Amino acid sequence: MDKILEGLVSSSHPLPLKRVIVRRVVESAETPLSQAQCRAMFALSTRLVLQGPDPFQRQVGRQVLEAYGRYHRDEFEAFFNRGLVLGLLQRGYGELSNRDPAILDYIQAGLRLIMSCPSVLELFELLQVEALRLVCERPAPPLCARLCQLLGDFPQCLPRGRKLSLAFCQQLVRSIAHFQSQGSREAELRLYVSQVTQVSGLLRSVWKAEPDTLLPSLQELFAVISAADTSFEPSVALASLVQHIPLQMITVLIRSLTTDPNVKDASMTQALCRMIDWLSWPLAQHVETWVIALLKGLAAVQKFTILIDVTLLKIELVFNRLWFPLVRPGALAVLSHMLLSFQHSPEAFHLIVPHVVSLVHSFKRDGLPSSTAFLMQLTELIHCMMYHYSGFPELYEPILEAVKDMPKPTEEKIKMILSQSAWTSQSSSLPSCLSRLSGKSETGKTGLINLGNTCYMNSVIQALFMATDFRRHVLSLNLNGCNSLMRKLQHLFAFLAHTQREAYAPRIFFEASRPPWFTPRSQQDCSEYLRFLLDRLHEEERTLKALSSTKTSETIMNEESQTQEAVRKAQVFAEAPCMGSEERTLIEKMFGGKLKTTICCLNCKSMSQKEEAFTDLSLAFCPPTSLESVGPKCVERSEVKDDYMVQTNALATSLAGETPPSNLEANGGCDTIMNEGTIKEFSTEPNSENTTNSELNKVEDNRDMSQRLVGKNTLSVTDLLNYFLAPEILSGDNKYYCEKCASLQNAEKTMQIIEEPEYLILTLLRFSYDPKCHIRRKILDNVSLPLVLELPVKRATSHLSVGSGGWSVGVEISDIGENLAKKLKPSGADEVACPQLVPYMLSSVVVHSGVSSESGHYYSYARNVTGSGPSGLCHQSTALSLVSRQDKLLTEESPCTVVENELDTEMPREWFLFNDSRVTFTSFQSVQKITSRFPKDTAYVLFYKRQNSTCGFNTNTANGLWVNGDPPLQKDLMDAITKDNKLYLQEQELSARTQALQAASTSCSFRPNGFDDNDPPGSCGPTGGGGGGGFSTVGRLVF
């Protein structure tokens, strides 16, 4: 058989024919063979694998070896013995060198085949010795990475015993120091980075399994980078090890290094310079943290000579790294520290001054949010340095001209930054650059860690979490045994409510809830995500209910137990104690409403009506003349209001039981907001061209925008809602086909809300398509947000009380002021029912910072609002008593005015600002003024909670102790949180022990006060950049 196979693979027969015959040979491996035949087949397959001249022969060798080795395991065990493996590792195979990675590939394949055989233990012992020998010979990156892969798959081959393990780790560190990239093309660089990552990953595994090897390995690392041998330059690949060093060790290690009398100044200078070079490694993490910590440690022990030498040697290199987005965050942090602490001379600053202008212009041309954020930080740094080293106008004038449009820090802030950054301010103690592990902020709320441009999800999740009744329903569900999205949401809500951590990483929920068309690590539309999430939750529950109904109808006895299990899993979603039909899903109960559309023919007065379900209303910005017009809107092109303003999701089919109308967006999302054709047609309405042009000017010059807004009244959410409900006249090309008239006729279209949701979600349609520039622009108009919103709901009867709170019944919209929908209503149309004014309290506001939907940053304002109490505020006193409100209603004040006046004395620290990991107290005044203070920060998605609701969650339950009104958690959830909290306390204890040696701690960030209401929110992403930071092009790789 081996002769036949050997002749076949070397013959000139067509490749398809060879494959067929090889398949027959592989299939014949099951037939009994003599020991000599098996050995011949193993020898042939080994030769093909290791010396095959083409990929086909090597593939045939692997297939034959695996097949015959599996069916003739005893014979293969005798063939694949210690002598064979040792010969391969020490002498190679024929002309194949023993340092070829193919040797290790073959050995790994052999180990898999004999894993269950006793002789494998002997091979493990052999490989433990040979692995140590290999790393001592300084293998090249491909061979070293392949060895580490083998050792990772077979950890039994790792050197055993403390002495051998320690020697292996130290030698592996030195091997990495000898790594060099063999090419400069993108594919070669990517391969090189992956090989280095493979090797450093194995070291991390060994350190984790044997912690005693970590400190000696770090000592070896420092010995390598501090060596003064000019003939050998350690590889920058050593930077890959830094991310695996626990940050808790930073204080102890830095103090040990800076106070060790055996470490000479020359060695420390060399080590520090090489660590700064590590900033060029594309995947380095925490390198800047260690560099800044070492700089501060040297300042603390007053080794200023080293600091001066290193700063002057490396400041230009660090500055040049700012050109590369992938390493820019770390480089800017180190540059800021080096410049701000180098305060005795302008020499270091003047080394980079000639390069500042070109970098600033590059950032401006990028137009990326990440570049803009970095430009703001760089500008602040430059202003600080020019303030400190004044008197060089010839050097600074070009820089001032380049950054004239950027905000300038105040003199007080500059002085504070300089005073905190000087070397002398750090000499009394050893500060730490490490952000301390701290518990929840003083707000008691938990942040969400940005997983890479996931602020769109974080802001929406925090808004849903702060929707108190919805959160309580989710937490109260009995979802044991389910692996649904609702179960993952419950898990996330439970951790947000009960974890002791400052911020939680929602990785599992993000992967489960991310729409499939969303590109990971790129900015997305939060409104689209919200619609997709609610639709998924709704459809999931509806599917489980349908499954439950189907299963319960079956009577087959052998399926009875399976049916009961399916019913149990499906019915858990129906356990939320809320008034209303039990057939409604939780999403319908909390966010579902109904809209009725009526079209009246103006010729014969016949009417057609239809009802539509919605979970959110998308409010378009009305043209400037609409607020002053006394006639109805006239739409003479496509149905703008249908396509642009009315957006609901697939809930329309669940309530009405029919196919959703074409004017509803069945899938929900950003596509309708961004509908290019619709927006273009919308821009053809009267005066809309001027509006489009003004919006373009707003993006180009925010100051012009501010001047234009001064001369006109600010729009309010009420205005946009009234415009949404205002009648339309369908005429011209958009005439209505009247069946009674049997022809196209002018018609009036009206929309009425006939069933209000528990939580009203309003999306402000801020993104419009610019047909001239073929890009999407953001409408930056400021919109006033009422704290109390009254939603006109037209019911079947005219005397239906809204709730138990005593709001007036049958109040006309005009009773509370001018209402656009009322003003535009033709006098010939009769009211079928009086609108009921349903009061809503503002619960959450999701803010978008930026000028386009594809970039920027999201954050949210929120507060606890329920509908069960008179005022709806969880922490509000009895100031909003029903008696007071009714008394004021008797004096003809509207409920909205009454509540707004009563809330003027707002309870302090009632509002929260959720900005990814950071949660701070804020105020409603800050919410109202956000756009006027930061023109690119605009309210985008609003959550309002219906007041005096009968669907509030009853906290007086017998289920157990409730925390802040929330229901008790299921046991498995509570166990998971308890386990994580214990781990967190252990981390805190470790941090406290390591930081007990330092007298004080300061922040290494360039802006020590972080984000508050006086600072713009900045960009998105864990590295501070909303757009840059991907590993996409060779231009972003720096070596």
Reported as half-sphere exposure (CB side, CA atoms, 13 A), residue 916 has a value of 21
For residues 121 and 689, give the distance between their C-alpha atoms in angstroms, rounded to a whole number. 80
DSSP 37: H
C-alpha to C-alpha distances, 198 to 208, 213, 236, 676, nearest whole angstrom: 16, 19, 15, 46
* Phi, psi values for residue 200, rounded to 5°: -65, -30
Nearest to 362 by CA among 400, 336, 325, 408: 325
- Tell me the β-bridge partners of 793: 753, 836
- In this structure, are residues 927 and 942 in contact, taking their beta carbons and an 8 Å threshold? no
User: Quick one: 413 exposed, middle or buried, by C-beta within 10 A (0-12, 13-18, 19+)?
Assistant: middle
- Tell me the β-bridge partners of 944: 760, 842
Query: Taking the mean position of all CA atoms in its chain, how far away is CA 897?
Result: 39
C-alpha to C-alpha distances, 74 to 12, 80, 86, 88, 977, nearest whole angstrom: 35, 10, 20, 21, 51
- Mark out the alpha helices in 670-776 (DSSP H runs): 670-673, 676-682, 688-700, 702-710, 717-725
Residue 990 DSSP SS3: helix
Q: Amino acid letter at 37?
A: Q
- Tell me the β-bridge partners of 93: 96
- Tell me the β-bridge partners of 839: 790
For residues 267 and 229, give the distance between their C-alpha atoms in angstroms, rounded to a whole number. 10
- Name 303's Cβ contacts closer than 8 Å, sequence gap at least 6: 258, 265, 268
DSSP 825: S
Tokens 């957006």: give the residue.
647
Can you give 940-971 as a three-state secondary structure string? EEEEEEECCCCCCCCCCCCCCCCECCECCCCH
- The angle at the Cα of 921, spanning 916 to 922, to the nearest 5 degrees, equals 100
DSSP 441: -
The alpha-carbon radius of gyration of the chain (Å, integer) is: 35
Residue 585 DSSP SS3: coil
C-alpha to C-alpha distances, 633 to 516, 686, 849, 981, nearest whole angstrom: 39, 10, 32, 58
Query: Taking the mean position of all CA atoms in its chain, how far away is CA 1?
Result: 58
DSSP 139: -
Q: Six-digit token pair at 764?
A: 């402000």
C-alpha to C-alpha distances, 834 to 407, 753, 804, 819, 891, nearest whole angstrom: 52, 12, 19, 14, 21
Reported as half-sphere exposure (CB side, CA atoms, 13 A), residue 328 has a value of 26
Q: Six-digit token pair at 563?
A: 């049916």
766: number of Cβ within 10 Å: 22
Q: Amino acid letter at 386?
A: M
Selecting among 148, 169, 455, 600, the annotated active-site residue is 455
Selecting among 144, 498, 857, 896, the annotated active-site residue is 857
Residue 455 annotated in active site: yes
Q: Work out the angle between the directed axes of helices 120-136 and 141-153 (0-180°, nearest 10).
A: 150
Q: Six-digit token pair at 508?
A: 């599992």
For residues 272 and 278, give the distance between their C-alpha atoms in angstroms, rounded to a whole number. 10
Residue 344 annotated in active site: no
Tokens 């910590």: give the residue.
293
For residues 738 and 747, give the distance between their C-alpha atoms in angstroms, rounded to a whole number. 9
So which residues are the catalytic ones? 455, 857
